[in-house]
Amino acid sequence: MSFVHKTVLLDEAVAALAIRADGIYVDCTFGRGGHSRLILSQLGPEGRLIAFDKDPAAIAEAATITDPRFTIVHNGFATLDQSLEQLGIQHVDGVLMDLGVSSPQLDDGSRGFSFRFDAPLDMRMDTTRGMTAAEWLNTAPEKDIAEVIKDYGEERFAKSIAAKIAARRNEQPLATTRELAALVAQCVRTREPGQDPATRTFQAVRIFINRELEELALVLPQALARLKTGGRLSVIAFHSLEDRIVKRFMQDRSTADKLPAGLPIRASEIPQAPLKIVGKPLRASEAEVAANPRSRSAILRIGERTEGAL
């Protein structure tokens, strides 16, 4: 069964890389290859693109690209340093990240990402390794479940939800998305108009199972260190937790070290920050949101590597 994926901020995110025909680029989240294919179309014969993805379905899609300039890595992007080292690549001209879960993952009920389908509680982006959502929910301490739902889902009913899960699994293990959604619905008393009671809990469990925020925090400094001077970092985030990490990283790396007031040095001698923020954050246009409602929450931030020391 095929699932349609509309790449969010496709032209904007690739344009942000300011592609050089002979450059080396990294697509940290191949997905269904929208960004990768556009990057390849702008590269010359000497250019190169390395893409990462955990999802076996994405890897299968990447296998249909027979371009010799293209390399796919079946691993999370937190392995950026290690993988580039193995490929003999020291520095790159641009890194693109399209964070979060893709439309095919959400729309394939068997993956267990969505409460819209009744399916096994899996939620792993890489179905070949790691603990499923069901395995974790049925074994983790109630306190840990509450913390994950509160911290990653920003869910104010987290303690009640965790208690309900713990009580249920004592009788019978949780196995499906519908079972989890039904339990959550019993605890969530109010919710924003149009938002399912289970939205925040499913987001939280998915983020935790896939270590999404930890891996993002790990890859950002790796990406900056690998960029050549003038190289670009282009990052699309879809929810506040991701965007907060990206925003703080870029702000921190674009701020030079503060020197004591009154120090007798010239402005040109002040240490330069290693990153320069390029423009203001970009969001999807009204036309794109109308065509693809999932693009509504997307925000694109762009940074450029300077000569400043890390």
Secondary structure class of 49 (helix, strand, coil): strand
33 is annotated as contributing to ligand binding: yes
105 is annotated as contributing to ligand binding: yes
What is the C-alpha separation between 113 and 308, in angstroms, rounded?
Answer: 42
What is the C-alpha separation between 69 and 24, in angstroms, rounded?
Answer: 9
195 is annotated as contributing to ligand binding: no
Say if CB 94 and CB 228 are below 8 A apart: no
b (16+ CB within 10 A) / e for 215-246: bbebbbebbbebbeeebbbbbbbbbebbbebb
**Which candidate, 72, 3, 70, places its Cα nearest to that of 43?**
70
35 is annotated as contributing to ligand binding: yes
31 is annotated as contributing to ligand binding: no
Which structure tokens are listed for 223? 């990406």
34 is annotated as contributing to ligand binding: yes
77 is annotated as contributing to ligand binding: yes
Residues making up the binding site: 33-35, 53, 77, 98, 105
Residues making up the binding site for S-adenosyl-L-methionine: 33-35, 53, 77, 98, 105
